[in-house]
Structure 1
């Protein structure tokens, strides 16, 4: 295959002239420009994109680090970012950490060594000092979905607290006063904010005492199963359960159905994420919907803004995207409570 030297020799110009002309950084008289075009055509020269990227100190690719790609939330998030990167003609390198700290460190090291131009980073665990130091030492990095507290980098989250308030207000309006909240450990910003908003709205929307029990855990089906087993042991049982992720919801419903618990006859269920096909469940599940596709697009857009700054200095900004309540059939007034309300459905 012909190279730049062959084209330069054929056109009677220097290699640097050919290189700068082809990458658009040099204007030439039309006659000289046509000589180069003719040489390129005759020799069937194809530019080497890797060489061009190396010469510019860029890879034209960004990384996306997620805990896994098996669950509905992360698979949809990856798809949204991949589609946006493709639209922008940008390479995307995907890494799944399996939520293991050592794998997170490995991929952050790759960014520090400039294997990629930038990175969108998603963790699904409580951050520690090691992760904070690693994230803080990276240039051109955006945190998505979950925080690493103290990291001065751009961040994109859904409005978790507003989502918790929507859930609490909805259950309180339907007459629920005893509720089980499932998921989210204190060290993770998503769970902490969802619980805070939920507690506030339940207290504000209720005309009497409110009881909120809690099962702490990660956003996994096993946390949902543990919550289901705990619910079955409770006496009296809560009249509603707020499962703070699709994954938790799946595990929870497995246990309740095996125990022949009726939804919403015996207990109302409300979820968070609404990425999985909750409308196909029996009954369809009411949920707080995260704007997953918008989260992905916003994170990539924010990352590209940081890449425009050659210094790599980026503001520690936090962007919150709105969530919505999608009402279906899994929430009803508690058994024996005739309280009803008229509402529109999303």
Structure 2
């Protein structure tokens, strides 16, 4: 026995007494019909149990109804939270999400941006975590609908969405200054990254507002647990040259604290510590870690809105930068400098 033939668009059109084009345009939302005509088509769809082919519908509309999200690492809690927020917002808007993890490699980033240019997705939310030599920016400018989130790709003329990194550094610096700290170690990512520079600038501005001599020691590397460990060992080898440390990511803070506690350094009695991101369970640390909290879920939701609502024909909107506010979550890892 042969398999039953699937009901086609022509079957629906014949049953409703209209053309195939009329049914197709009604289903893709490009045609308004008199109520009685629409009812006949609806009845035919119901009676015949017609199931529209979503792939064919997407082709007829000239779009995929899928957006892309490129992140460096889905194992990192920061990026995992961002992915979840983008996924939920896309789903609310009836869109599918195509997720790509680059392992923070430029070659993989370039291949995913190239896929956008080939119309595999309707737009791309792009997150990098390393400096660009210019090749990626040029490709993004050619690709079209891209929104850059979290870290900058300099010279890419597309909408950009960041947390207010400078304000985050300022809040950390003010909190340390309020406790009497004048010598602070700043442990950040690569100097070329916008987050590294702006958080450092905010930290210095807050400390200098007190009008007293300030010393900021910088250790710059990567936003990883391992770099946090390396920075902590260097800090100890140099004789703990600061009374407080500002670690500019959860991952750095985890590696830092691991080494300090293993070496018997008491937090905050011997050195105070502030983190950045506050996406991990920092309240479970001993002591609970004070941190600057990024609005990660809001970043994901707003990124989807920017991608869908930007007028991509309007040149002015293609070089915009939007900042979302951060906040300080005060716990128990900061105290006045030790007298000793």
Q: Normalised by the shorter chain, which TM-score bucket? A: over 0.9
Unaligned runs of 5+ in 1: 338-346
Q: Which residue of 1 aligns with 2:43?
A: 38
Structure 1 position 206, deviation (Å): 5.2
The alpha-carbon deviation at position 312 of structure 1 amounts to: 7.6
The residue that corresponds to 1:93 in the other structure is: 98
Task: State yes or no: 1:324 paired with 2:327.
Answer: yes
Task: Give the drift of 1:31.
Answer: 4.7
TM-score by length of 1: 0.92
- 2:69 equivalent among 57, 64, 72: 64
TM-score, structure 2 normalization: 0.94
Q: Match for residue 231 of structure 2?
A: 227
Deviation at 1:37, TM superposition (A): 2.7
Which deviates further from its counterpart, 26-35 or 269-278?
A: 26-35
Distance in structure 1 (CA, Å) of the matches to 2:34 and 2:174: 70
| 2-structure distance, mates of 1:2, 1:320 | 51
Shift of 1:27: 3.8
Q: Are the counterparts in 2 of residues 140 and 312 from structure 1 also a CA contact under 8 Å?
A: no
Match of 1:263 in 2: 267
How far 1:318 sits from its partner (Å)? 0.3
Q: Secondary structure at the match of 1:47?
A: coil
CA distance in 1, matches of 2:329, 2:33: 60
* 1:201-240 alignment runs, 5 A limit: 201-205=206-210, 207=212, 209-235=213-239, 237-240=241-244
Question: Which of 164, 167, 171 is 2:172 aligned to?
Answer: 167
Aligned equivalents of 1:47, 1:5: Cα separation in 2:
12
SS of aligned partner of 1:137:
helix
Aligned equivalents of 1:50 and 1:189: distance in 2?
Answer: 40
The count of aligned residue pairs is 334
Give ranges in structure 2 of 5+ residues lacking alignment.
Answer: 1-5
- Please give the alpha-carbon distance, in whole angstroms, between the structure 2 residues aligned to 1:38 and 1:173: 71
| Deviation of 1:32 (Å) | 3.9
3-state SS of 1:126 partner: coil
Local SS of the residue matching 2:136:
helix
Structure 1 CA distance, aligned partners of 2:29 and 2:148? 34
Matched, 1:185 2:190: yes
Q: Give the whole-Å Cα distance in 2 for the aligned partners of 1:71 and 1:174.
A: 32
Name the Cα RMSD after superposition: 1.6
Alignment of 1:1-346 (within 5 A): 1-205=6-210, 207=212, 209-235=213-239, 237-306=241-310, 309=311, 311=313, 314-336=317-339
CA deviation profile, 1:201-242 (whole Å, cap 9, x unmatched) = 2122253x2221111111111110111101111135311111
Q: Deviations over 1:173-228 (max 9, x none)?
A: 21112211101222111101111111122122253x22211111111111101111
Q: Is the 8 A contact 1:139 1:312 kept in 2?
A: no
Q: Is the 8 A contact 2:275 2:292 kept in 1?
A: yes
Q: Is the 8 A contact 1:105 1:131 kept in 2?
A: yes
Shift of 1:17: 1.8
SS in structure 2 of the partner of residue 315 of structure 1: helix
- Structure 1: which 4+ aligned runs deviate by more than 6 Å? none
Query: Paired residue for 1:340?
Result: none
Partner residue in 2 for 1:342 = none
Q: What whole-Å deviation, never above 9, does each CA across 1:3-52 have from its counterpart, x for those lacking one?
A: 11222233333211221233343344455444323322222111111111
Q: Is the 8 A contact 1:269 1:286 kept in 2?
A: yes
In 1, the alpha carbon distance for the partners of 2:319 and 2:109 equals: 21
C-alpha separation in 2, matches of 1:22 and 1:90: 17
Does the Cα contact within 8 Å between 1:63 and 1:120 map onto a contact in 2?
yes
1:245-269: CA deviations, max 9, x gaps?
0010011011111111110111100
Quickly say closer, same or farther: Cα 1:255–1:50, change in 2 above 3 A.
Answer: same
Cα deviation code 1:256-288 (max 9, x no counterpart)? 111111101111001111111111111000111
